Amino acid sequence: MIDVMICEDHPMVAQALAKVLQDDGDCRVVGITSDKNGSLATCAADNVDVAILDVRLGLESGLDVAEALKKRHPETKVMILTAFPSDFSLVKAHELGASAFMLKNGAVGDLLKTIREVSRGNQLIDRLAVAEAKKRLGEKGADVLATIDDTDRKILTLVAQGRTNAEISDQVFLSLQTVRNRLSALLSKFHKRNRTELAVALNAMGDELG
């Protein structure tokens, strides 16, 4: 029997997934959670063989949950589910030690097969796919994000939302001139001529910026 934990913040999705697993003779759902603390508590209380984590969890990220689980419960195998294909999420999931990365629109049979394979210790994330995703991220400039601080990341998020410099100044608690200076430096780092080009590039990054 494979003991499975589900981390999903949409109750209907979580319940539907749980029913699919419970109807399968090989799986047993030992917990349904919606955040990192709940997931850690479930793994501490039960022997979780496979943790199925949604990438997007309200105010949290399933990738953060994966990181915490792999640190505290390295014996638990992690599967990442997502409704939104993302190069960033794929690369990050692989780097964190996840065993599988699947889209939610896949077939139930494929999901059950993956759970069985993952529970046996098999790594199902394609290294070539990860390498190609890394290349695409570099071409988009996403690698620059690793070199900036939280304030600049917040500024970029607001630029992507179309906020004015004055609105950004209020949000990040910096003077208007400081915001202008930081934006000028960010334009240079991302090799963009103006904030419109920068906003287009940022929106193309998707989860990388968030």
Domains contained in the chain, CATH given? 2-135 (3.40.50.2300), 141-208 (1.10.10.10)
pLDDT at 137: 81
Backbone angles phi, psi at 45, to 5 degrees: -90, -30
Name the strand (E) or helix (H) holding 147: none
Provide the token pair at 96.
């964190």
Query: CB-side exposure of 63: number of CA atoms within 13 Å?
Result: 16
Backbone angles phi, psi at 197, to 5 degrees: -60, -40
Positive or negative torsion for Cα 154, 59, 139, 147? positive
pLDDT digits (tens, 9 = 90+) for 93-149: 999 999 999 998 889 999 999 999 999 999 999 999 999 988 888 777 777 877 888
Pairing verdict, β 56-57 and 60-61: antiparallel
Backbone angles phi, psi at 75, to 5 degrees: -75, -20
Q: Output the CA–CA distances (angstroms, integers) from residue 58 to 1, 54, 177, in the order listed.
A: 31, 10, 34
Strand partners, 73: none
Strand partners, 199: none
* pTM: predicted TM-score of the whole model, two decimal places: 0.75
Q: Are 48 and 16 in contact (CB under 8 A)?
A: no
In the predicted structure, residue 79 carries a pLDDT above the cut 60: yes
In the predicted structure, residue 4 carries a pLDDT above the cut 90: yes
Q: Are 25 and 51 in contact (CB under 8 A)?
A: no
pLDDT at 65: 95
